[in-house]
């Protein structure tokens, strides 16, 4: 990474730790509240703890980082030698994280470009990597922002969940859509559309939904170079099986990441989540 431009994202990017260290990317943590305990994602609470709490019907909520938390991160980057910062965050349609970053950026000691990627999970992570790779080869602040925005425009994210109830409880999907899924006893496929989590298709069984998820990814990937991330929550076998099939079926596969989502996204999707993010290169 260029020593003059720092890349900051948030904990919902779910970037591999090795990639963050290699590119010098910093992640500002969101907060998960389990019962009456407020815990930082990534250090104080695991996705597995959230899954278990949800199954016990313990109250689980999430909250954005405070502007002061972002201010501390921007100050630390400046003190480490950055003369500009690209701050990339999950969709403002899903969280107030972007708004908190904007507030902090207005008083930062160096210029900060805050980007609402409209993404989440590795869909956001791939944007952060694109920005970091750009500054790593000498790119400017503006060039890093452009690279991230270009990657966001090309990236698609699809998700299967066992139930829409957790998304409904957290206000991340409309009650009417959630109730429709429950009434018809269907298995929902979701996607990111305009920064929002939207119902894409309704499928009758879990196995058919996962097969359809695979087909969507293969069709969207085409033959060009593409990075893919497979996410899950408490569904590692499903994730590994999907990843192996994608390795065999996507001819232009460049990198494939398989990971359990973090506590924040897990709190809103519930156990059984299976997701795939595909991000074309170039």
> With b meaning 16 or more CB within 10 Å and e meaning fewer, what string describes 40-71?
bbbeebbbebbbebbeeeeebebebbebebbb
Each residue's pLDDT tens digit, 108-146: 999 999 999 999 999 999 999 999 999 999 999 999 999
Chain centroid to CA 199: how far? 17
Domain range for 104: 5-30+65-153
130/213 same-domain check: no
Q: Considering just the CA atoms, what is the radius of gyration of the chain in Å?
A: 18
Tell me the C-alpha distance between 47 and 265, whole Å: 8
pLDDT of 277 reads: 98
pLDDT of 166 reads: 74
190/219 same-domain check: yes
126/262 same-domain check: no
104/11 same-domain check: yes
Task: Report residue 170's pLDDT band, with 50, 70 and 90 as the boundaries.
Answer: low
At 229, which CATH number?
Answer: 3.30.1180.10
Task: Report residue 267's pLDDT band, with 50, 70 and 90 as the boundaries.
Answer: confident
Q: Please state, rounded to an integer, the average pLDDT across all residues of the chain.
A: 90
pLDDT of 176 reads: 47
Q: Which of 56, 61, 31 is nearest to 45 (CA)?
A: 31
pLDDT exceeds 80 at position 171: no
Residue 49 lies in a domain: no
Looking at the chain, the whole-number percentage of residues with pLDDT higher than 70 is 93
184/199 same-domain check: yes
pLDDT of 198 reads: 85
pLDDT exceeds 70 at position 173: no
Domain termination residue (choose one: 126, 153, 180): 153
149/175 same-domain check: no
- 20 contacts 27 by C-beta, under 8 angstroms: yes
142/26 same-domain check: yes
Residue 45 lies in a domain: no
262/214 same-domain check: yes
132/75 same-domain check: yes
100/160 same-domain check: no
How many domains does the chain contain in total? 2
Q: Which of 203-207, 218-222, 226-230 has the lowest mean pLDDT?
A: 203-207
The structure's pTM equals 0.91
DSSP string across 142-209: HHHHHHHHHHHHH-EEEEE-S-SHHHHHTTSS-HHHHHHHHHHTPEEEEEEETTEEEEEEEESSHHHH
- 231 contacts 266 by C-beta, under 8 angstroms: no
Domain termination residue (choose one: 104, 130, 153): 153
């Amino acid at each position: 990474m260029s020593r003059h431009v720092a890349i900051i994202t948030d904990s919902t990017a779910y970037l591999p730790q090795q990639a963050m260290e290699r590119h010098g990317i910093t992640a500002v943590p969101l907060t998960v509240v389990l019962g009456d305990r407020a815990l930082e994602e990534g250090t104080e609470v695991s996705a597995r703890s959230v899954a278990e709490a949800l199954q016990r019907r313990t109250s689980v909520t999430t909250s954005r980082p405070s502007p002061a938390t972002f201010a501390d991160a921007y100050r630390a980057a400046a003190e480490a030698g950055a003369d500009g910062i690209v701050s990339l965050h999950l969709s403002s349609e899903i969280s107030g994280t972007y708004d908190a970053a904007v507030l902090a950026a207005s008083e930062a000691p160096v210029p900060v470009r805050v980007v609402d990627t409209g993404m989440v999970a590795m869909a956001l992570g791939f944007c952060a990597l694109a920005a970091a790779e750009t500054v790593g080869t000498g790119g400017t602040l503006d060039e890093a922002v452009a690279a991230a925005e270009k990657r966001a425009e090309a990236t698609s994210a699809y998700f299967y969940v066992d139930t829409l109830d957790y998304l409904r409880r957290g206000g991340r999907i409309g009650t009417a859509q959630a109730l429709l899924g429950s009434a018809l006893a269907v298995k929902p496929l979701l996607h990111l559309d305009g920064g929002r989590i939207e119902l894409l298709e309704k499928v009758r069984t879990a196995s058919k939904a996962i097969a359809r998820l695979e087909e969507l990814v293969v069709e969207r990937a085409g033959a060009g170079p593409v990075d893919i991330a497979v996410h899950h929550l408490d569904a590692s076998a499903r994730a590994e099986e999907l990843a192996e099939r994608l390795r065999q079926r996507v001819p232009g596969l460049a990198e494939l990441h398989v990971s359990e989502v973090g506590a924040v996204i897990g709190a809103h999707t519930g156990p059984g989540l299976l997701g795939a993010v595909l991000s074309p290169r170039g």
